[in-house]
Amino acid sequence: MNATSATPAERDRAGPGSARILVWDVPVRVFHWLIVLCFAGAYLTAERESWRLVHVTLGYTMAGLVVFRLLWGVMGTRHARFSNFVRGPRAVMDYVRSMLRGRTRHYAGHNPAGAIAIVALLGLALAVTASGWATYEDVAGEWLEEFHEAAANIMLGVVGVHIAGVLLGSWLHRDNLIGAMITGRKTGRPEDGVGRAWRSVGILMLVAVLGFWWTQWNSPPTRADNGPAAVSGKAAGQAQDDD
């Protein structure tokens, strides 16, 4: 399992025999940081017409990443699977109460409260990207654009709550949860670790995303009303009028 020794403080939180174990495989980590990049970039470019191609590309990328995560949540490694960390309301309430008492149970993967944030973010990401595509293609009226913006703002709020929960969990368990999403390792029992990092899948994800970005940059999508081709045509027409 390639586990390393844990510090005394880490052993106190995770139990006797604890070590630094591999919890998050490479695909989960690549997904996490690409989603962070895509959502942040899409949110910051939402109101800038000159950055429309970047906004749309990042939105489409986020949709593809969510689809992958749903599939990986079924066939992925132990702690990536939804069956491993999605629990009922009672488990969530028990965890919150124990957290308020300062006696939180240590989980190798996502804790019950964190699982709610993960599921909510995946659902909101689907809502944001689907409504964004429909808005871009003029499938519905202005109400859909307002829904798109509202869903993005709600998602931003959930992201804030998620970050606060990660910081609180890091403090309660004396384990750097942000660092764990970089290295893949947390403190836990050796038998709770995963045996394979699946680097090949992570590399394929990066190649697919970079390839998609290259395609978008070289062959941007067009719309009849205000896509890149239409904008170029309007600019050319205006130049002829000026002459």
Placement of tokens 């890149």 in the chain: 228
Query: What confidence score (pLDDT) does residue 15 get?
Result: 53
Residue 155 tokens, joined: 């998602």
Helices (H) and strands (E) in the chain, counts: 10, 3
If you ran DSSP here, which 8-state letter would residue 15 be given? -
- Side-chain half-sphere exposure of 19, counting CA atoms within 13 A: 14
Phi, psi values for residue 22, rounded to 5°: -80, 120
Query: What confidence score (pLDDT) does residue 237 get?
Result: 40
Query: What confidence score (pLDDT) does residue 231 get?
Result: 38
Beta strands (DSSP E) in 54-204 are 185-188
pLDDT string in tens for the chain (243-residue length): 444 544 444 444 545 556 889 999 999 999 999 999 999 999 999 988 899 999 999 999 999 999 999 999 999 999 999 999 998 889 888 888 887 777 778 889 999 988 999 999 999 999 999 999 999 888 877 899 999 999 999 999 999 999 998 998 888 878 899 999 999 999 889 999 999 999 999 999 999 999 999 999 998 776 645 444 333 333 334 444 444
Q: How many CB atoms lie within 10 A of CB 30?
A: 21
Nearby residues of 65 by Cβ (< 8 Å), 6 or more positions away? 31, 34, 35, 38, 209
Q: Which of 148, 240, 222, 184 is nearest to 28 (CA)?
A: 184
pLDDT, tens only, 15-60? 555 688 999 999 999 999 999 999 999 999 998 889 999 999 999 9
- 72 close to 31: Cβ distance less than 8 angstroms: yes
Query: What confidence score (pLDDT) does residue 80 get?
Result: 96
Element (DSSP H or E) covering residue 234: helix 228-242
Is the pTM above the cut of 0.85? Answer: no
